[in-house]
Amino acid sequence: MSKIVPTLPSGIAGPLGLLHLPRLWQKSSLAAADKLADGYKDIGPGYDLMVLEAINIDPDAAREYIKSAKPAYVQFEKWIATQPGVKLDAKTISDINATVAGYHHEAEIRATILAAAGIEDEGKILDAVTLNFLDDLTEFHQALA
């Protein structure tokens, strides 16, 4: 595989406790190495911007830091923690984590993802974190073919 499908789910947090941040780092790191699979965005709309905006981190600055420094994940978190105006208080982290965990895709998107994964849509899997992870696993498997 010359291009890599990111498989860290948005429901994973690093030491700072922010859901989705490890996935954002993985996607941006892959993009910086020109290895991010087609169809995936490097710090794009959705969870990426939700998280960065909630903690007051400029998306372009985060992208540039990852591109230039090529940090390990913990180094990325340390960089975030040192940025002027960053908001890493317990309430901010709790609020953004609740937003990430509670986000649901529209029914049509849910149905498409589940169908591609070979799962009947019984209305049991609603959260976007799980649906996006299933979508990544499906994409990863297809890329192996």
pLDDT band at 145 (very low <50, low <70, confident <90, very high): confident
Per-residue pLDDT tens digits for 63-95: 999 999 999 999 999 999 999 999 999 999 999
Per-residue pLDDT tens digits for 34-71: 999 999 999 999 999 999 999 999 999 999 999 999 99
Please tell me the predicted confidence (pLDDT) of residue 1: 54
76 & 62 share domain = yes
Domain annotation covers residue 70: yes
57 & 33 share domain = yes
Measured distance between the N- and C-terminal CA atoms of the chain, rounded to whole angstroms: 10
> How buried is 137 (Cβ within 10 angstroms: 0-12 exposed, 13-18 middle, 19+ buried)?
middle
pLDDT band at 4 (very low <50, low <70, confident <90, very high): very high
Domain annotation covers residue 5: no
Domain enclosing residue 42, as ranges: 12-103
Q: Per the structure, how many domains does the chain have?
A: 2
